[in-house]
Amino acid sequence: MTDYSADSILVLLDVTPSGALAKSAAGLLGAAAGVGTPVAVIVAAPGEGEQAATDAAALGASHVLVAEHAAAGSGLTVPGADALAAAAELVRPDAILVSNSIEGREIAARFAARSRSGLAVDAVGVSRDAEGVVAHHSVYGGAYNVDSAVTWGAPVITVREGSIDARAEAQPVSVERLDVAASGRKAAVIGAFEEEVVASSRPELRGAAKVVSGGRGLGSEDKFALVDQLADVLGAAVGASRAAVDAGYIPQSHQVGQTGVSVSPQLYIALGISGAIQHRAGMQTAKTIVAINKDADAPIFEIADFGIVGDLFTVVPQLIAALEARKA
């Protein structure tokens, strides 16, 4: 039986289907270390927890609770919520941090509803004041900053992926097996899984430092390749406006905007995107915005740090050539 620090922050770490820690782990543990002592909880299939626990310690977990059970992969959401409930009972943390991934936030949802905890979603940061842990949110596409707290007890906070830059110091590995009493809650059953095929070495859109996005101005699926080319020269991820997705130029997983992915990269280049509020809501927190559009009145220019009124089919190839010439 371990003694847990009075300022423990319980962190549920997502595990990928292949058993590795999800990328969100580093940011979650970094955020937790800023407000207390991070205690990680990992739900894994038998035999798969050990490596993930070692990796979690390297990312700053002072202690790792591993719930290994065969059912981990067969029931949807409920096994995760049961493990989180057992861990919270054991650790009595000051706050519970969970990734705002689809899996993570649904586990947080079930746990919060069950324990009647206050739930704050999609935080971009956490801090501590005299009364406890506070969640910071960026809402309406980054137009407002909102801080939230809970009326009592430990808040359950889901943290936006890629939003936390802080990293925690590596800790010595300290692993404990977590016994989980199944709640018996009815769950959906997970069947066949198909991993998303990552066809290129391009960075993932979510959390990318640079993003090149294309809109309807690209004109066709074939011509959309120009977006890919520029992205590859810059080492950027590829995004798209909803118009480009609706027109079938690129799959929906690349959609940036209110109904797609929200990004805040260092550099965002919008090609042939008019900049409807719909789209701007997903990218206007980028550090630097560049826009190329033939319509001088396109609203994207209102927020662009560098705007070019021109034909992207002549400007972009020239840009690519110029960037390549500098590299050579």
Partner 1 sequence: MKIVVLVKEVPDTYGDRKLDLQTGLADRAASETVLDEIGERALEVALSYADSHPDTEVVVLSMSPGSAAATVRKGLAMGAAGAVQVADEALLGADLGLTAEVLAAALQRIGFDLVIAGNQSTDGSGGVLPAMIAELLDVPNATSLNSVEIDGAELRGERATDHGTMQVSASLPAVISITEALPDARFPNFKGIMAAKKKPFETLTLADLGVDAESTEASRSIVISLGEKPPRSAGTKIVDEGDAGERLAEYLVQNRLA
Which residue number, 89 or 311, has a Cβ lying nearer to partner 1?
Answer: 311
Place of tokens 């390749």: 225
The C-alpha atoms of residue 218 and residue 102 are separated, in whole angstroms, by 31
Assigned token pair, 325: 């010439």
Q: How many residues bind partner 1 (CB under 8 A)?
A: 95
Q: Is residue 106 part of the contact set for partner 1 (CB under 8 A)? A: yes
What does 267-303 look like in DSSP terms, one character per residue? EEEEES----HHHHTTTTT-SEEEEEES-TT-GGGGT
Residues 6+ apart with CB under 8 A from 215: 240, 241, 243, 244, 270, 271, 272, 273, 274, 279
Burial string for 20-39 (b: 16+ CB within 10 Å, else e) reads ebbbbbbbbbbbbbbbbbbb
Show the site string, 221-240: x = touches partner 1 by CB under 8 A, - = not.
-------------x------
Indicate which single residue of 90, 112, 261, 273 sits in contact with partner 1 (rule: CB under 8 A).
112
Determine if residue 62 is labeled as part of a ligand binding site.
no
Residues 125-184 that bind partner 1 (CB under 8 A): 134, 139-140, 142-153, 155, 158
Assigned token pair, 266: 């260092």
Residues 253-292 that bind partner 1 (CB under 8 A): 258-259, 266-267, 276-278, 281, 284, 288-290, 292
Which residue number, 69 or 105, has a Cβ lying nearer to partner 1?
Answer: 105
Sign of the dihedral defined by the CA atoms of residues 139, 27, 253, 276, in that order: positive
Determine if residue 257 is labeled as part of a ligand binding site.
yes
Determine if residue 277 is labeled as part of a ligand binding site.
yes
Q: Is residue 311 part of the contact set for partner 1 (CB under 8 A)? A: yes
Which residue number, 28 or 150, has a Cβ lying nearer to partner 1?
Answer: 150
Q: Candidates 4-12, 164-172, 215-223, 313-321: pick the segment binding partner 1 (CB under 8 A).
A: 313-321
Annotated binding site for FAD: 216, 241-242, 255-259, 272-279, 293
